Amino acid sequence: MEHEEESMNIRPTDNAFARIDAVSAEMRGKIIDYLDVVAGHPEMKRVRTAASAIFAPSEGERLLDAGCGAGEVARELGAQVGSAGAVFAIDRSQQAVAVAQARHDGGPVTYQSGDVTALDFPDGHFDGVRCERVVQHLADPDAAIAELARVTRPGGRVCVIDTDWSSSVGDGFDHLDEVVGSFFPGHSAGRCVRSRMVRSGLRETSVLPVTLRFLSPADAGVVAPIFNRVLMREYLSEELFDRFCSSVDRSADRGDFLYAFTMWISLGRVA
C-alpha cells in the first residue's frame, strides 16, 4: 500500500500541476492538453465570462495574468487593453511559458516565467492583476495574495479565481469524498480567498460563486481531474481507483450520474 500512503500525503505543491517542469515530457504534454480542453469547455467559459465582467479590463490598462498557463486568457486581455495597453503573462513553469509564447497572436502581451509569491515587478506597477487556479497549488497562499496586492496601484483591483474542491458533490456513485481527499488535501482554496484578501489589506472585497455541473463522467473528466483516468492513476491507489471507477461506470450505465463543484471569483481593491 506504499502508493496509497504517498497519494494520501500529497501536499499542494507536490502535484504535477504545480511542478510541470519537473515531471516527464509525457506528463507535461498531458497537462498542457488538459489545460487546453478545460479552456474550451462551456462550464469554464461561463466562469471566465463572469470573471471578465467583474475584473472589467479596459483599453490602455497595464495588467498582469499571474499563472497564465498556455496564455489564452492573457491574449484575450491583450485584445481588451489594445495597443495602448500592456499585459504581462507569467507562469512558474518555463514549459508553459514556452507554449504560451509559441501561440502569441501579436497582441500587447509579454510572456515570462515568474513566481507569484515573489513577483519581479515594482510596487503599484499594474492597474489590475488576475490569477486563476493558482492559489490551490501554493504552500503559502497569503504570500501570493500579498504580492498581487503589492504590484497593483492604489485603487487598482486584484481578481483571484480559484476552485473549492471541498464543495464537490455527486449523485449516482460512491467514494467521492475519499477521492477528493486523495487529490486535493488543501481543497478549500477558492472560498478562502476573500478572507486572505481582507487580511492582506485589500478593500471593497466581493465574491461570486459559480457552480459547475456535469451529467456524465466523460464531461466531468474534461474539467475535474478526479474523473480524468489518466491523471487519476497518478494519485489514487489501485484499489481506490478500481472501486471509484466501477461505481462511476455503473452510474453512467444507469444514466443517473451528477457531479458539481464551485469556483469562487474574488475581487479586492488596493487601498
pTM of the shown model: 0.88
Average pLDDT of the segment spanning 11-32: 60
**pLDDT at residue 218 in the model:** 95
**pLDDT at residue 103 in the model:** 95
Average pLDDT of the segment spanning 3-21: 43
- For the stretch 55-81, pLDDT in tens is 999 999 999 999 999 999 999 999 999
**pLDDT at residue 2 in the model:** 31
Is pLDDT of 7 > 70? no
**pLDDT at residue 105 in the model:** 95
- For the stretch 144-169, pLDDT in tens is 999 999 999 999 999 999 999 999 99
At 186, the amino acid letter reads G
- For the stretch 171-225, pLDDT in tens is 999 999 999 988 876 567 899 999 999 999 999 999 999 999 999 999 999 999 8
**pLDDT at residue 139 in the model:** 87
**pLDDT at residue 51 in the model:** 98
**pLDDT at residue 231 in the model:** 79
**pLDDT at residue 183 in the model:** 82
| DSSP secondary structure string for all residues of the chain | -HHHHHHTT--GGGSGGG-GGGS-HHHHHHHHHHHHHHHHSHHHHHHHHHHHHHH---TT-EEEEES-TTSHHHHHHHHHH-TTSEEEEEES-HHHHHHHHHT--SSSEEEEE-BTTB-SS-TT-EEEEEEES-GGG-S-HHHHHHHHHHTEEEEEEEEEEEEEEEEEEEES---HHHHHHHH-TTTTHHHHHHHHHHHHT-EEEEEEEEEEEESSHHHHHHH-GGG-HHHHHHHS-HHHHHHHHHHHHHHHHHT--EEEEEEEEEEEE--
High-pLDDT (> 70) share of the chain, %: 88
Mean pLDDT of the chain: 89
**pLDDT at residue 26 in the model:** 66
**pLDDT at residue 15 in the model:** 57
**pLDDT at residue 232 in the model:** 86
pLDDT band at 42 (very low <50, low <70, confident <90, very high): very high
